Amino acid sequence: MSNRESLESRLEWMETRAELTDLVTRYGKAIDERDIVGLANLFTEDGRLYSRDRALEAIGRRGILTVYKDVFDRLGPSFHWHHGHLLERDPTDVNRITGELMAHSETFRKGEQYLAALRYTDEYRRVDGKWKFADRELSFLYFASMADYQGILGREHRVLVYGDERKADWPEGFATWRSYREA
């Protein structure tokens, strides 16, 4: 590989990273603005969206649109922001990238304000020159009302948004967390 090819390849990777950062930012913006059509169009035609606990699950743009309409009907204002975005190229497919996004959200539902710490585990696919979500999984460290937030990290059951108390998806589910705790 020549130096020029290497530079072009590195520049293309930087552009791809910027495009994927824009994609995840547009996702949060579309949620907060209740742009369900715009939100659905961020996914591939056969895209999949789900939460690890399966409280949220949709396949295809039409299914994603329906699920988000249902979610939005129960929500007041919200704010979604992301912190770190890890990306990994698929060495066998230039049109596929996987990633993990760390994020927080504030939502208003059932007359209360909620705060969530979440991760998105993503598969991105380039379709007609544009990056889209092919697969997006949400998982939670916590999802609690502000009234329940104090001390939330000291509890095992930290997902409190559904009207019951559920175990969090992580960090207890991470193999590294378990092996550290067992050592």
CATH code, 24: 3.10.450.50
Taking the chain (183 residues) in consecutive chunks of 10 residues, what is each chunk's mean pLDDT? 73 96 98 95 98 95 95 95 96 97 97 98 98 99 97 97 95 93 83
DSSP state of 169: S
CB atoms near residue 61 (< 10 Å): 20
Range of the domain at 17: 3-182
What integer pLDDT is reported at residue 1 of this predicted model? 45
d(CA 84, CA 112): 28
Q: Find out whether 166 and 50 touch, Cβ atoms under 8 Å.
A: no
Q: Find out whether 125 and 95 touch, Cβ atoms under 8 Å.
A: yes
Contacts of 57 (CB under 8 A, 6+ apart): 49, 50, 51, 67
What is the pTM (predicted TM-score) of this model? 0.92
**Total of domains in the chain:** 1
